[in-house]
Amino acid sequence: MSLRLALLALLTARPMTGFDVMGQFDESVGYLWHAPHTQIYPELRKLEALGLVEGVEVARGERGKKRIYSITDLGKTQLRDWMNEVDEPRRDRDPYRLKAAYFEWAEPESAYAQLAAHVVHYTAAEQLYRQMHDDILARRHPLLKQRLANIPADQHEAVVRFKAFAYSGLVRRARGEVDWAREGLALLESLHPDLKLSVDTARAGDTTSTT
């Protein structure tokens, strides 16, 4: 259901083509939910069949065409209903923790490399999420600006704060991942004091640390 929710929510900002949705899924909303175009196009068709969105075909140049989707009143009602549902938390599925639990089966060097990559990835992710968070609060984010333009000014504050709140959660998670992975690196170093230096060297040359 999350993909549908993401699509409907996105279309409340402005009408879009499937291609536009793709673009948003590569940035902004894409950090909250991502889907490839092979899932987006069919799903928009399904939403249209359900009457939740409406698509109109529009010419593009001489022969080209594109399909612009807007959310319908029914779609807004459905969105509101989904948003009001309390879905009980999903059972956790955690590939990182699963793998870490059995690190005794990996070479220490490779466990180290995995945790180092984790640090690199989530350090960059945290930066990115924090940037988004700040852009939202400052109302610099382009899609957010369009969204706000369509609704009364007295609701702007709530809309902005909710989005910032969501990103603050992403920042928090990313920071947690980094702290956790560092804890793991320290553990590996304490278990294999002899390997430490060689791996550290490998990491410096390997992972193209961006910080």
Contact set with a second copy (CB under 8 A)? 2, 5-6, 9, 12, 29, 31-34, 79-80, 83-107, 110-111, 113-114, 117-118, 121-122, 125, 155, 157-159, 161-163, 165-170, 172-173, 176, 179-180, 183-184, 187, 191
Residues 18-77 that bind DNA (CB under 7 A): 18-20, 22-23, 34-39, 41-42, 44-45, 60-64, 66-67
The vertex-100 CA angle with 94 and 105, nearest 5°, equals 130
The CA distances from residue 198 to 35, 113, 183, 204, in Å, are 39, 12, 19, 10
Cβ proximity to a second copy: between 66 and 173 the closer is 173
Of 66 and 192, the one with the shorter C-beta distance to DNA is 66
State whether the Cα torsion 203-204-208-211 is positive or negative. Answer: positive
Q: Which is nearer to DNA, 68 or 137 (CB)?
A: 68
Q: Look at residue 53 and give the partner it binds from DNA, a second copy, none, a contact being a CB closer than 5 to 8 Å depending on partner kind.
A: none
Pick what 158 binds: a second copy, DNA, none; C-beta below 5 to 8 Å, kind-dependent. Answer: a second copy
Which alpha helices (DSSP H) does the chain contain, by range?
A: 2-11, 18-26, 37-49, 73-84, 95-101, 108-137, 142-149, 156-191, 196-206
Size of the site for DNA (CB under 7 A): 29
Paired tokens of 134: 């700040």
CB of 81 to DNA, least distance (A): 15
∠ CA 166-130-142, nearest 5°, is 75
> Is 94 a binder of DNA (CB under 7 A)?
no
88 forms part of the interface with DNA (CB under 7 A): no
Of 37 and 139, which CB lies nearer to DNA in the complex structure? 37
65: β partners:
59
| Cβ nearer to a second copy, comparing 6 with 44 | 6
What b/e readout covers 32-61, taking b as 16+ CB neighbours within 10 angstroms?
A: beebeeeebbebbeebbeeebbbbeeeeee
183/186 Cα distance (integer angstroms): 5
Binding site for DNA (CB under 7 A): 1-3, 17-20, 22-23, 34-39, 41-42, 44-45, 60-64, 66-67, 90-91, 93
